[in-house]
Amino acid sequence: MSTYAYWRLWVGVTLEGVKGPLPDNAAKIIDGIMDDFKPQEFDGMEVGAIHMHGQEVGLGVVVQEMSWGTEIDKKNRFDSKSLRKADKLVPRLRTLFRSWGIRGKVCVYHHIDLGG
């Protein structure tokens, strides 16, 4: 039996924040992002669907991901610069999402997935 912990820091909007009438061109962009498991580049940012526990929960940019196992290495080293990067992404994503007609609040989120 193995145990794992997985952590992600991301910036974006929840799916609730994406709801509402959107211009056709924006709806096509968002549908394309949500249907693809790979982020797409917009204005120098890798925007993708955000998943937690196998469920789509938002739209945004992953800033840092870490996984913990029984060995300590680069995969589980926290980068304190990721917090500054996340803060700087908030206004940039807000501008991008507003241009798409998304009015949901852009925030910094983190998620821990524990399993065993």
The torsion angles phi and psi of 16, rounded to 5 degrees, stand at -60, -35
How many angstroms separate the CA atoms of 28 and 68, rounded?
37
2 CB burial (10 A radius; 0-12, 13-18, 19+): exposed
> The whole model's pTM is what?
0.86
Which stretches within 4-101 are classed as H helix?
Answer: 15-18, 24-35, 81-100
7, burial (CB in 10 Å: exposed 0-12, middle 13-18, buried 19+): middle
CA distances from 14 to 5, 54, 57, 102 (A): 22, 15, 6, 11
Per-residue pLDDT of the chain (116 residues; tens, 9 = 90+): 456 678 899 999 998 888 878 888 888 888 888 888 789 999 999 999 998 877 888 999 999 988 876 677 777 788 889 999 999 999 999 999 999 999 899 999 998 877 65
